[in-house]
Amino acid sequence: MQGRKARGGRGLLDMEGALTARDRVGIQDFVLLDTHTSENAFLDNLKKRFNEDLIYTYIGTLLVSVNPYKQLDIYSKKQMDIYMGVNFFELPPHIYALADNAYHTMLAEANNHFILISGESGAGKTEASKKILQYYAVSCPSVSPMDRVRDRMLLSNPVLEAFGNAKTLKNDNSSRFGKYMDIQFDIQGEAVGGHILSYLLEKSRVVHQNQGERNFHIFYQLVEGGEEDLLRQLGLESNSQHYSYLVKGQCANMTSVNDQNDWRTVRNALSSIEFDNGDIQDLFGVIASVLHLGNVQFESDNKGNAKLNNSAELRWVSTLLGVSVQVLQEGLTYRKIEANTDEVLSPFTVDYATYARDALAKAIYGRAFTWLVNKINESMENKDLSRKTVIGLLDIYGFEVFYVNSFEQFCINYCNEKLQQLFIQLTLKSEQEEYEAEGIGWEPVQFFNNKIICDLVEEKHRGIISLLDEECLRPGEATDLTFLERLEEKMGSHPHFVTHKLADKTTRKTLERGDFRLLHYAGEVTYCVVGFLDKNNDLLYRNIKDVMRESKNAIVRECFASMESDNRRRPETVASQFKSSLVGLTDILMSKEPWYVRCLKSNESKQPGRFDDSLVLHQVKYLGLTEHLRVRRAGFAYRRRYEVFLQRYKPLCPATWPHWKGLPADGVEVLVRHLGYQPDEYKMGRTKIFIRHPRTLFATEDAFEICKNDLASRIQAQYKGYRQKGEFRKQKEAATKIETCWRGVQARKEKERRQWAVKVIKKFIKGYMTRGEAKTTDNSEYLVFVRQSYLNRLKNNLPKTVLDKTTWLSPPPVLTETSAILRQIHMRLLVRKYVRGITAQQKAQLQLKQITSAIFKGKKDNYPQSIPQPFVETRISEEDINIKVLQMIRHERIKYSVPIVKYDRNGFKPRPRQLVLTQTAAYMVDDAKIKQRVIYTTLKSVSVSPLSDGIIIFHVANEDVKQKGDLIMQCDHLFELLTKLSVVANKQNAIKVVQGSITFQIQAGKEGVVDFSSGSESMVYKDRNGHLMVVSTRTRVR
Ligand SMILES: Nc1ncnc2c1ncn2[C@@H]1O[C@H](COP(=O)(O)OP(=O)(O)O)[C@@H](O)[C@H]1O
Ligand SMILES: [Mg+2]
């Protein structure tokens, strides 16, 4: 059984992986243990590894597993991934490696396999089988969208464990039935179906448990975890203590098991594996009816016959099973006896009634369990007929020894004997066959063959089972004790059989009179014969069977209907049935390729971290592990096909390196001679070389390691150099090529650019030279450029205000006209903007100013300075005009008032006055007096000088001598006053700027003169010539 074929060239590494393993903790493969014959060395290695939490060790491809009794972090998805598809010996030993190897071998060789998990109760078989199943569930490819089968295979586990496992003294979750499960794979390796075979459920547990043990988990789960409604329906109380079937071992509640949680798991699993509600109801009905049945009690009536003392419980049984109470009661307390053609009812004693009750409970539960397995099988069944290969998983109850051992232990231990026998046969056989096939002579290894014990138990006519059956079937008073006598009679001197009577003095002390002792391969077990006959008969009275066949509970009806009621032949005894089922199992297994997991218990107290040397050593011994190892090594620790061996080690010999031209076998011969192998160290088979001692191979491997390094670095260096040079040359060529191309591209681009530039420059120069001429092809572009550039510049240099007359770029000749138009447009734009921005007041002001301009612009020197001075409404507010004056003139509506200086017409004496303009006249006011009133109609004209003085002369039409003459005054707000006047009195045309002197009328017929001149200082005085002399400062001419 070699590792899987090379995948991606890794096959070669198989043995080498194992070789390097010696450097790790302990030795991963016992085959490599140098002192392989020493049991202590074996134990030591196991212990060393166990202490490092390395619970797995190989013996070749056999996996030894030591129960750690604690959760190890080695079962994660990550771990699974690591082991997936990797060769067996490449990684540390693991159950996954074995599962993976079996799976890939199955796929590669297209044949069937099985994994035999053995070990005594509590050694970890069930856990191991679960790990394997989980591994397949995760690692196998999945083509179908719903992983139906896969899920169901996983989910069936908690259900079967609930119904078939129980707490024993050895194991809190001890399997009380044997389980063989076929996982079917299609050609692609997908798990597509499953099938379970169950073996002999320990039914007696339903009605009795030894001290410290429990009934099957499901009872406690239902009672402790069942929903209130459900319990009410089933008539159950939520208290295990209430049920006599649950408390026989006095440990209904225990900390290591959480019944409530488990209940939920089981409940969910049931729904997920195609159990419909009816099935589930019926199933719970079965469990509940068993519990009620257990509480049915009998007492004896005066005739000594059994009668019921608690009809409530019986009513529940009848309700749950759907049978009539009377019929049920009759079935439990009477026996139907057929006398000729008549049927007679014979009453039971209390003991018999109790016995019948328990028999019924066991029968119902046992058959329901079978029904459950069938149901699960239906749900995992693969109906597709295409070719499939299977991996069988055997997880069967382990060897167990209790203080009192009964029929069940006898069966269980017999089963373990059979499996051990199978193991011995298969391991020896395969090894032997290989040597034979290769033509290698070898000396057989001594080992204990337990066939003698198997025969003791099962041999026809002479074996214990046959004797038991005979005793059960023979007429007359047969009892457990007569059975024991028969045994003593027949077995007498058998070396593996002893009883109180047969034993020598010392042994006798350890035996009771009703005991017999078998020296099993795994140790001696003392069986108490009490109950052997009953349990083997497993009798159920016919009338109660008939009752059950009428049940309304579909499961019960189905289970009992399948038994032919009329078959008068005695049914096969339990032991015979079991024996033939084991024969069947052996046949199933023999037709498949075996893989072994040997589970060892580390200590009896289920404690983590404890390694009980003697306990482990004992198991190592009886499991034949050292023998197995010896067989593995008897002859040869290693074997390899010639091709493979040569391929790996050929560098070690110049004759085989680098190529061997002849046959591989000859090459290997040359090679090993060169290496100095001694003749007894190896054998040449037909296709393989066999190497006896690991050290020989170690040495070869070490040599290879050194040589490989040497060789590798040499080859590497050369190859690297070669690669590097080639690479460099290639790169350089490529670089040059790219460079050349790139340069060409660049140069062409440059040339184009320059040609274009020359053309452009030429055209530009020509355009410049002919820029003044009309547009030609030569200068058109240049002119466009000129225009564009002028307009662009102009855009950024426009005048910002209306008054800015200076800012304007001088245009190039071609744009003179355009520029002028643009300037106009721009100005209009500014003006419009300005006009839009002015207020009504500003507008009125401007209108006034316009009038002023019409009168004075260019005529009077100080006019320009007046322009920016805004005109005001009035210079004297009404409060400042004497009230009397106001009263007199108010009705004429005062328009404007201004302080002035009035000059007497004769002496030109200056007098400050107020000049008030009304709608109709101008008034000269001196405080409360109106000195003169000039009605506008009499105002002929108004004269002012062209200089910058403020003198104003009103020429008044004056015919009367008594009337006052013209008015001479000086006003600081000359322009404002006169503009107002011109508006109020409509005198625009009457206002004159007079050049030279101004003549005025002092009174009718008498004239005076005012002279004007400029000087450095402004003055007004009467000149010697009698004129009024007005000197004004010269205003700067703009
Ligand atoms: N690989 C393991 N890792 C951790 N605990 C384990 C392992 N195998 C077994 N056990 C512990 O040992 C107990 C008994 O194992 P189980 O597989 O039920 O024994 P068996 O089936 O051989 O009687 C388990 O309930 C568990 O607590
Ligand atoms: Mg188990």
Q: Which position has the token pair 């591989």?
A: 664
Q: Specify the pairing of strand 894-903 against strand 688-691.
A: unpaired
Around Cβ 463, how many Cβ atoms within 10 Å?
Answer: 20
Interval 655-676: pLDDT, tens? 888 888 999 999 999 999 998 8
Catalytic member of 398, 624, 667, 1008: 398
Q: Which of 61, 126, 416, 626 is catalytic?
A: 126
Predicted confidence at residue 469, as pLDDT, reads 94
- Which residue minimizes the CA distance to atom 20 of ligand 1? 122
Among 270-274, 472-476, 557-561, 635-639, the least confident range: 635-639
d(C-alpha 923, C-alpha 920), whole Å: 10
Q: What is the pLDDT of residues 956-997, one digit of tens each?
A: 887 766 677 889 999 999 999 999 999 998 888 889 999 989
398 included as an active-site residue: yes
Q: Which residue did the predictor score with more confidence, 224 or 142?
A: 224
- DSSP code of residue 814: G
What distance in Å separates the CA atoms of residue 97 and residue 505, rounded to the nearest whole number? 51
Percent of the chain past pLDDT 90, that is, above it, reads: 51
Residue 284 has pLDDT above 50, yes or no: yes
Q: How confident is the model at residue 9 (pLDDT cuts 50, 70, 90)?
A: very low
Q: What integer pLDDT is reported at residue 353 of this predicted model?
A: 92
Ligand 1, atom 6, lies closest to the CA of 69
Q: Higher confidence at residue 75 or residue 629?
A: 75
Catalytic residue flag (residue 198): no
Does the annotation mark 171 as catalytic? yes
Which residues in 698-724 are b (16+ Cβ under 10 Å) and which e? eebbeebeeebeeeeeeeeeeeeeeee
C-alpha of residue 115 to centroid of ligand 2, in Å? 15
Q: Are strands 1006-1015 and 1028-1033 parallel, antiparallel or unpaired?
A: parallel
Q: Among this protein's residues, is 122 annotated catalytic?
A: yes
Q: Is the pLDDT of residue 144 over 80?
A: no
Burial (CB < 10 A; 0-12, 13-18, 19+), residue 912, is: exposed
How far apart (Å, rounded) are the C-alpha atoms in residues 94 and 100? 10
Evaluate if residue 755 carries a pLDDT over 50.
yes
Model confidence band, residue 775 (pLDDT cutoffs 50, 70, 90): confident
Instruction: Tell me the mean pLDDT in the region 840-856.
Output: 90
175 annotated active-site:
yes
Of 171, 379, 779, 1032, which is the active-site residue? 171
* 713 catalytically annotated: no
Active site residue 256: no
Nearest CA to ligand 1 atom 26: 69
- Return d(Cα 204, Cα 359) in angstroms, integer: 9
Closest ligand 1 atom to Cα of 127: 17
Q: Give pLDDT, residue 551.
A: 92
Query: SS in 3 state form for 292-303?
Result: HHHHCCEEECCC
Ligand 1 atom 11: residue of nearest CA: 69
**123 CA closest ligand 1 atom index:** 22
Residue 334 CA to ligand 1 center (angstroms) comes to 46
Distance between CA 138 and CA 153 in Å, rounded? 12
Q: Kind and range of the H or E element at 523?
A: strand 523-528
pTM score of the predicted model: 0.64
| Strands (E) located in 290-425 | 298-300, 306-308, 334-339, 342-347, 389-395
pLDDT computed for residue 635 by the predictor: 64
Active site residue 643: no
Centre of ligand 1 from the C-alpha of residue 1009, in Å: 147
Q: What average pLDDT does this structure show over 904-915?
A: 90
Annotated active-site residue in 3, 122, 124, 285: 122
Give dist(CA 514, CA 66) in Å, integer.
36
447 to each of 417, 423, 450, 616, 830, how far by Cα in Å? 15, 12, 9, 19, 125
pLDDT of residue 568: 58
Counting from 1 in the atom list of ligand 1, the atom nearest the Cα of 131 is: 1
- Residue 628: predicted pLDDT: 83
Who wins on pLDDT, 839 or 432?
Answer: 839
Catalytic entry in 45, 157, 165, 174: 174
CB-defined site of ligand 1, < 6 Å: 67-72, 119, 121-127, 171-175, 398, 599
Q: Is the pLDDT of residue 800 over 90?
A: no
Three-state DSSP at 513 gives: coil
